[in-house]
Structure 1
Amino acid sequence: MDIKVKFFAAAAAAAGTQETLVQAPEGASVADVIALATAGNEQLGKLAAFCAVLGPDGFIRDRSVPATMPQLELLPPFAGG
């Protein structure tokens, strides 16, 4: 399944792009998709651990849920929040 991962603010700066397309295997979790999207970029991988994850139905607090959505957004803490 193709899942678009969008990056905002510091995450976009670390990624060097505003979005990437991840080919997620069957049964992949949201955490798996984030790991694939940040693979090979240590700075982005570390930052992703602190990012809020937004899906089509709102914020995703449990990253172990299946990634069945077409898009995820990684939002880093803003202004120290």
Structure 2
Amino acid sequence: MGRSINIVYFAWVRERLGLDNESVLLDEKVRTIADVLTLLNKRGVAYSEILSDVTKLRFALDQDYGTPASLVGSAKELAIFPPVTGG
């Protein structure tokens, strides 16, 4: 049985996808952020173009930074955003 996770997009990721957020159903095979990205990439060309290069992205699970190898566990939210630069 699957469960849902809310995915929130920020900055140019949001602009290019045309979405602020979406709820995605995860099956039991989805264990890591990389697995979520693989699932999203299957949604179409826009997703695969934006999400395929993880070196251009950062992630947070329930507002704690993560990496593609991070376990999703019971997280309710995955944020996807570009690296933040300060000035």
TM norm structure 1: 0.77
Percentage identity across paired residues of the two chains: 19
Indicate the residue corresponding to 2:58 in structure 1.
Answer: 52
Partner of residue 15 from structure 1, selected from 17, 32, 35 = 17
Aligned residues: 78
- Residue pair 1:20, 1:37 contacting (<8 A) in 2 also: no
Partners of 1:25 and 1:76 in 2: CA distance: 26
Structure 2 counterparts to residues 23-34 of structure 1, below 5 A: 23-28=25-30, 29-34=32-37
Report the equivalent of 2:71. 66
Q: Which runs of 5+ in 2 are unaligned?
A: none
Contact 2:5 2:23 in 1 (8 A): yes
Aligned to 2:7, which of 2, 5, 20?
A: 5
Larger Rg, first or second structure (1 or 2): 2
Q: Call closer, same or farther: CA 1:8–1:57 in 2, change over 3 Å.
A: closer
**Structure 1 unaligned spans of 5+:** none
- With normalisation by structure 2, the TM-score equals 0.73
Describe the superposition over 1:38-80 as per-residue Cα deviations: whole angstroms up to 9, x where unpaired.
4312332245x1211011251002x223322111001112459
